[in-house]
Structure 1
């Protein structure tokens, strides 16, 4: 899900973080971080050779000394001041796009491994606490993981009058499962993740994410392909289907799970009144059309009612998009009347104190999209099929950090 922010990314991942309990294992921090001079300095030219692309003088005339270009002078100052930040400590750098890199100072490293599908690291960062990193990309952070997971799960569970059987695709760290099992009406929750090593690692190192959800007798964890497992269930079996998958990448394993054929199968597996939701990548005014609007357009070919909504996830440095679809289309989850009644329903379910993020006010904010994003949704015509998929980028390319 974080991957759509990058122009160059590593492989897609299926999972995405942090308790106060620290395991005894400690990994050298320099496995993750790199210093300013090797990773970021090229973006702030400091030598005459690297400054040649910039005009060094402006407005000079013969017989007069050249006037220094203000851009060059500012670049020198920024380079000097920026270097001070990275002189101490270890840093994890993530390239968001050309010309933009975000850096997290590492306080401690707990675990590093390579599974069959991806590299996996658990680190403690200064700004966001313990974080899950897969293929060198931020997937989840303790300080704000509830923003993402409650935004993904709770609107869909509350959109159903009495959800009993729920399917989760992906979600290896267990926080999506945790949010589903808050609802006492849920009798069975099937979670399918393809990467068993990541799930096991998250059980051990991210207990505050899953909060014991894997031990709940209502939870059924399956390590396998999401599509293959869902196909095996009878039509109309599930009340809610939640997809917490990585983005559709060329060379990645998930792109077929964003197509009309897969969404049609999901609709068939839903009972009457069923609800479907999927994470849909970045949802801001600068990047919503990379994935979010296309997923919305594709779902509209299958479901009678689709609601796009977004929320800001600080550790992702982005507004994040989700799409919720209704099999019957009778409930208008974006209406004021629906939001007005939401707090009463939250209290009736006994979740008022458990939910840290989601309530009626937050719900209104998530479903109140900005004018530019609404216009992008209105103008979107692309539809993803197996024959004509949308690839965010090449999943086999590297990340510069």
Structure 2
């Protein structure tokens, strides 16, 4: 037993699927807490630096979060001719706001996260996002994104879905449904507006969990839909995003790079025109199953990635 407990105190283990676990060595546990919505932990890991973990799922790691956040934010903002007003669903950690605020066209960012404790926690602990949290263009709203969008009258150039993955008992899965996209989200986009969402694992085997279903659902709501993916080392998988609009999404690599130079402060570490062009060409296996996907994401037939949230949890 002594040996096991020694191993447990030095390693973080995440159950990715029933028969698959992913471990990394820890320097220390910096902070753990529990909000009314989810369990929160900040760990200092040897391979990935500081990592934020919600409900036992790694959300972002200091070493490679730039891959995820640049991929989530910049394609949609660069495809838009002049994005001024952006709404983030979720994003409490502040990294998505940080990337959006690098765009010189942006005048106002509304970040709507349901969990005030996660927002406060990240404000205090994630130094890379300090500047974003104190940028006067950022407005933080604590609310369920669906309720917030339903009560608002204003519209946005870009809406970004930076929600936790849809897990059973978690706070987010209803924000991936057809009824939400069609009835609540789409009317909040201005003409020419673009929606982008993180869409879960998109690997050869894992993309059928939720990625193909989210893609198919958005294809039934928007005229133009672009799925794309990138490998994120700390997620131990390829990750997926889906961008959707009523206006064509057809920026070529050269124009993409011109817009980066014109609009974005500082240097991207991951994303440029060629990278996005390659990210939006999916592998043969994934393309085939996306083309064949028939399931829509609805509240009655929600799909979840492996894991369980603690929302309304009955465990003692």
TM-score (norm 2): 0.92
Correspondence for 1:259: 177
Deviates more, 1:353-362 or 1:279-288: 353-362
Structure 2 residue matching 1:212: 3-state secondary structure: helix
Q: Distance in 1 between matches of 2:246 and 2:16?
A: 36
1:391: Cα distance to partner? 3.5
Correspondence for 2:44: 124
The 1:366/1:36 distance shift into structure 2, 3 A limit, reads: farther
Q: Distance in 2 between matches of 1:90 and 1:392?
A: 27
Structure 2 residue matching 1:130: 3-state secondary structure: strand
Correspondence for 2:221: 302
Give the CA RMSD over aligned residues.
2.1
Residues 1:358 and 2:271 aligned together = yes
Bigger strand fraction: 2
The 1:282/1:349 distance shift into structure 2, 3 A limit, reads: same
Q: Write the mapping of 1:287-366 to structure 2, written as runs, cut at 5 A.
A: 287-328=206-247, 330-333=248-251, 338-351=252-265, 353-366=266-279
Correspondence for 1:187: 107
The 1:371/1:35 distance shift into structure 2, 3 A limit, reads: farther
1:287: Cα distance to partner? 1.1
Correspondence for 1:17: none
Contact 1:281 1:321 in 2 (8 A): yes
Correspondence for 1:369: 282
Contact 1:267 1:327 in 2 (8 A): no
- Spell out, residue by residue over 1:59-86, the C-alpha distance to the aligned partner (whole angstroms, 9 max, x if none): xxxxxxxxxxxxxxxxxxxxxxxxxxx7
Contact 1:35 1:91 in 2 (8 A): no
Gaps of 5+ in 1: 1-33, 39-85
Structure 2 residue matching 1:384: 3-state secondary structure: coil
1:126: Cα distance to partner? 0.6
The 1:133/1:386 distance shift into structure 2, 3 A limit, reads: closer
1:36: Cα distance to partner? 6.8
Correspondence for 1:250: 168
Contact 1:192 1:223 in 2 (8 A): yes
1:234: Cα distance to partner? 2.1
Contact 1:280 1:322 in 2 (8 A): yes
Contact 1:147 1:313 in 2 (8 A): yes
Q: 1:156 aligns with which of 72, 76, 97?
A: 76
Correspondence for 1:26: none
Gaps of 5+ in 2: none
Structure 2 residue matching 1:299: 3-state secondary structure: helix
Residues 1:222 and 2:135 aligned together = no
Structure 1 residue matching 2:301: 3-state secondary structure: coil
